[in-house]
């Protein structure tokens, strides 16, 4: 959580920092702030505001500060409520050191008590504020050494960037677990929580690794290990994402842009992963496949939308590999004392690759000696780097807080992985595989067809947008789709929505049904279609308002529904990718009608880096 930007070079710093923050605002947006060293003056310029970045920009009111070095932050509160006082950057007693921070300092209370006894006075309730004070306390003329020593006294997981009037030509950065990437320019260098903030200036980046400290001047970056001060030489990586990929591309919201990118994402995933009629995983070599062949049990661990992809992944893996598969939310995994052994495979699914709960679950799996596979979207993220093997989802940057295209890419990757493992385990023949892959090729254009018909949802949306409670039902492969439809709706429209397995209705939830209750039913062609039809009949008999997602041409279910949205006819396993698209659009349209902040819904952040 929280977005960090740091700059040193020749440009006017303030606009660089503000533009960087704009791109990182998805990481948190309850306050924002900047700190710059003013040229020719031995002083810090600090500005911060509660609320979104726009509040800060309007408070600055076009102000110019003569400066070529600065740091900035957009916050998602952990310690201390959103307020101007708690906004970053935080400074020391004499206002000579400024710090921005993403993460949690677990022993901050103890450090704060110690600093108070040394005469330090605090202005905020944050854990972050102890950093500049501790550096001040330990500074005896060498700022890098003081920074290093200060970090050694702090427990927890964090990324930190610091500037000081005492060494105005240096930007200090440190990373442990939380992301920090350095941008390499000509006569300028950068630090940021992710590459989107750097793209206007440079495509050459260096991913700082855990427990590495970097000192940036305008012409040089020196990286060293925290404890032994061993210098690290690392070549910059070239970022291929276009700038346009990180912008809204003409859509009113990132979420809508990302929904419409799904045919492209699906096509791209299939192109990358299917070569000459075979599944191609660039990161899997012979030894990996040998280990996979011995896997006795699979655990899938993830959160939120990625968890729903995992639930569908279980159906896929069990159907095509017959390997028992258990799915857990990351935040519970460790606490169930999971029986994970060296013979097991733990699959971690994460768009950001930085979700703290999933990282913690990953470490638990690792300690038990399991083989770990990351299905991750953000290249170079913590989970991607630390897992034994990684399959990138290549969905491009996802900015909208509500995950859409990353979900589609996760489903496709899981599907291909299940087929791959099925072949290794000799559960699928080459002929079956090529038939499946041929069918799969139809998916990108099937999504396009759905998107073309998006307006068909409008009548239902108009009738339902003021409702406060929604039910979503599905069965089999599409039971998790119902959960995902409900999650999408609640996170961006703030209406209560609950997903159920269709067969569970009669065990309780059906008591909710009367003529005011909307129920969104996923009833595409499947093994359980007949049963699903009965479930719809049961709720219709109790006067529910029914919107159904069905396979093209289904007249039977149409008679039971107030509205119907057709998706192309595909195999049940592939229908999971199609049926979620109208649900994403439904949630989006309801949220827009209710004038919600679709891309940055209240209380949420794109990447949840606290447990
Ligand atoms: C989805 O719309 C969410 N905002 C959220 O549930 C998300 O999927 C979850 O926090 C997991 O994030 P990750 O994929 O980056 O690990």
pLDDT at 242 over 80: no
Q: Does 93 share its domain with 69?
A: yes
pLDDT at 76 over 80: no
pLDDT at 335 over 60: yes
pLDDT tier, 156 (very low <50, low <70, confident <90, very high otherwise): confident
* pLDDT tens digits, one per residue of 573-609: 999 999 999 999 999 999 999 999 999 899 898 888 8
Question: Which residues fall within 8 angstroms of residue 195, CB to CB, at 6 or more apart?
Answer: 181, 183, 205, 239, 241
pLDDT tier, 1 (very low <50, low <70, confident <90, very high otherwise): low
Separation between Cα atoms, residue 9 and residue 41, nearest integer Å: 17
Q: Is the CB of 358 under 6 A from ligand 1?
A: yes
Q: Does 428 share its domain with 473?
A: no
CA distances from 433 to 31, 270, 416, 528 (A): 51, 14, 10, 24
Residue 89: asked if its preceding bond is cis (omega within 30°), the reply is yes
Domain-located, residue 248: no
Q: Does 264 share its domain with 201?
A: no
* pLDDT tens digits, one per residue of 299-317: 999 999 999 999 999 999 9
Separation between Cα atoms, residue 258 and residue 18, nearest integer Å: 24
| Neighbouring C-beta atoms of residue 431, cutoff 10 Å | 8
pLDDT, average across residues 553-571: 97
Q: Is the CB of 193 under 6 A from ligand 1?
A: no
Q: Which residues pair with 348 in a beta bridge?
A: 301, 374
Which of these three, 239, 267, 299, is where a domain ends?
239
Q: Which of 218, 257, 488, 606 is catalytic?
A: 606
Return the percentage of the chain with pLDDT > 70, whole number. 98
What are the helix and strand counts (H, E) for the chain?
20, 27
Q: Where are the beta strands (DSSP E) in 193-335?
A: 204-207, 212-216, 221-225, 231-232, 237-238, 274-275, 278-279, 297-302, 325-329
pLDDT at 26 over 60: yes
Q: Does 551 share its domain with 578?
A: yes
Q: Is the CB of 393 under 6 A from ligand 1?
A: no
pLDDT at 246 over 60: no
pLDDT tier, 42 (very low <50, low <70, confident <90, very high otherwise): confident
Q: Is the CB of 306 under 6 A from ligand 1?
A: yes
Ligand 1 pocket, mutate which of 26, 403, 584 (most atoms under 8 A from CB): 403
Domain-located, residue 558: yes
CATH number for position 148: 3.60.20.10
Query: Are the C-beta atoms of residues 1 and 179 closer than 8 Å to each other?
Result: no
Ligand 1 pocket, mutate which of 76, 378, 608, 611 (most atoms under 8 A from CB): 608
- Is 2 designated active site? yes
Residue 284: predicted pLDDT? 83
Domain count, the chain: 3
Domain-located, residue 189: yes
pLDDT tier, 141 (very low <50, low <70, confident <90, very high otherwise): very high
Of 114-118, 269-273, 529-533, 542-546, where does mean pLDDT reach its minimum?
Answer: 269-273
pLDDT at 250 over 70: no
pLDDT at 243 over 70: no
Separation between Cα atoms, residue 481 and residue 579, nearest integer Å: 7
Q: Does 217 share its domain with 264?
A: no
Q: Does 465 share its domain with 417?
A: no
pLDDT, average across residues 511-516: 95
Q: Does 391 share its domain with 265?
A: yes
Q: Is the CB of 330 under 6 A from ligand 1?
A: no
Q: Does 330 share its domain with 397?
A: yes
Q: Which of 64-78, 314-328, 352-366 has the highest mean pLDDT?
A: 314-328
pLDDT at 244 over 70: no
Task: Please give the distance, rounded to the nearest whole angstrom, from the Cα atom of residue 87 to the centre of ligand 1.
Answer: 25
Question: Which residues fall within 8 angstroms of residue 60, CB to CB, at 6 or more apart?
Answer: 14, 18, 47
Which of these three, 409, 441, 473, is where a domain ends?
441
Domain-located, residue 64: yes
Which of these three, 392, 420, 441, is where a domain ends?
441
**What value does the mean pLDDT of the chain take?**
94
Q: Does 111 share its domain with 46?
A: yes
Q: Is the CB of 457 under 6 A from ligand 1?
A: no
Domain-located, residue 598: no
Q: Does 199 share its domain with 317?
A: no
Q: Does 110 share its domain with 212?
A: yes
pLDDT, average across residues 72-99: 91
Q: Does 390 share its domain with 459?
A: no
Q: Of all atoms in ligand 1, which is nearest to the CA of residue 608?
A: 10
pLDDT, average across residues 389-402: 89
CATH number for position 517: 3.40.50.10490
Look up the domain containing 502 and give its range. 454-593
Q: Whose CA is nearest to atom 2 of ligand 1?
A: 402
Residue 106: predicted pLDDT? 84
């Amino acid at each position: 959580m929280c977005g960090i930007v740091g700059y040193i070079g020749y440009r006017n710093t303030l606009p660089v920092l503000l533009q960087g923050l704009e791109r990182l605002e998805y990481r948190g947006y309850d306050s924002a702030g900047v700190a710059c060293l003013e040229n020719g003056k031995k002083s810090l310029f600090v500005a911060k505001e509660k609320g979104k970045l726009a509040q800060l920009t309007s408070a600055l009111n076009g102000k110019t500060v003569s400066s070529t070095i600065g740091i900035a932050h957009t916050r998602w509160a952990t310690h201390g409520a959103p307020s101007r006082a708690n906004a970053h950057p935080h400074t020391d007693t004499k206002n000579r050191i400024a710090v921005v921070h993403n993460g949690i300092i677990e022993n901050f209370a103890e450090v704060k008590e110690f600093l108070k006894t040394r005469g330090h006075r605090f202005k905020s309730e944050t854990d972050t504020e102890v950093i500049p004070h501790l550096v001040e306390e330990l500074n005896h003329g060498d700022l890098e050494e003081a920074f290093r020593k200060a970090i050694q006294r702090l427990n927890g997981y964090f990324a930190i960037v610091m500037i000081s009037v005492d060494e105005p030509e240096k930007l200090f950065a440190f990373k442990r677990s939380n992301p920090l990437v350095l941008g390499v320019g000509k006569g300028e260098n950068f630090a940021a929580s992710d590459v989107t903030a750097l793209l206007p200036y440079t495509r050459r980046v260096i991913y700082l690794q855990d427990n590495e400290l970097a000192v940036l001047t305008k012409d040089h970056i020196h990286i060293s290990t925290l404890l032994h001060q061993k210098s690290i030489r690392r070549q910059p990586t070239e970022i291929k994402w276009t700038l346009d990929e990180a912008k809204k591309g003409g859509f009113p919201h990132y979420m809508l842009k990302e929904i419409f990118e799904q045919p492209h994402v699906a096509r791209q995933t299939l192109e990358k992963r299917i070569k000459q009629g075979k599944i191609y995983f660039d990161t899997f070599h012979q030894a990996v496949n040998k280990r996979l062949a011995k896997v006795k049990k699979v655990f899938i661990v993830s959160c939120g939308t990625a968890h729903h992809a995992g639930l569908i992944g279980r159906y896929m893996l069990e159907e095509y590999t017959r390997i028992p598969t258990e799915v857990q939310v990351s935040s519970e995994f460790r606490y169930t004392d999971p029986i994970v052994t060296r013979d097991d495979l733990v699959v971690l699914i994460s768009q950001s690759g930085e979700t703290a709960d999933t990282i913690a679950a990953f470490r638990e799996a690792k300690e038990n000696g399991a083989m770990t596979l990351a299905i991750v979207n953000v290249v170079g993220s913590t989970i991607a780097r630390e897992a034994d093997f990684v399959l990138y989802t290549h969905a491009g940057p996802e900015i909208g807080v509500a995950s859409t295209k990353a979900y589609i890419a996760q489903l496709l990757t899981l599907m291909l992985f299940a087929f791959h493992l099925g072949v290794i385990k000799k559960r699928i023949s080459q002929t079956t595989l090529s038939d499946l892959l041929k069918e799969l090729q139809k998916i990108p254009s099937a999504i396009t067809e759905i998107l073309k018909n998006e307006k068909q949802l409008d009548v239902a949306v108009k009738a339902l947008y003021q409702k406060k409670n929604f039910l979503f039902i599905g069965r089999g492969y599409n039971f998790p789709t119902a959960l995902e439809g409900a999650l999408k709706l609640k996170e961006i429209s703030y209406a209560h929505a609950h997903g159920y397995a269709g067969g569970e209705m009669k065990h309780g939830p059906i008591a909710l049904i009367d003529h005011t209750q909307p129920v969104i039913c996923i009833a595409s062609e499947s093994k359980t279609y007949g049963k699903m039809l009965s479930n719809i009949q049961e709720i219709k008999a109790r006067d529910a308002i029914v919107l159904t997602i069905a396979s093209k041409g289904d007249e039977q279910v149409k008679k039971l529904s107030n509205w119907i949205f057709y998706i192309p006819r595909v195999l049940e396993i592939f229908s999971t990718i199609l049926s979620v698209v109208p649900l994403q659009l439904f949630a989006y349209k309801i949220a827009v009608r209710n004038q919600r902040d679709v891309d940055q819904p209240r209380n949420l952040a794109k990447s949840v880096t606290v447990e």
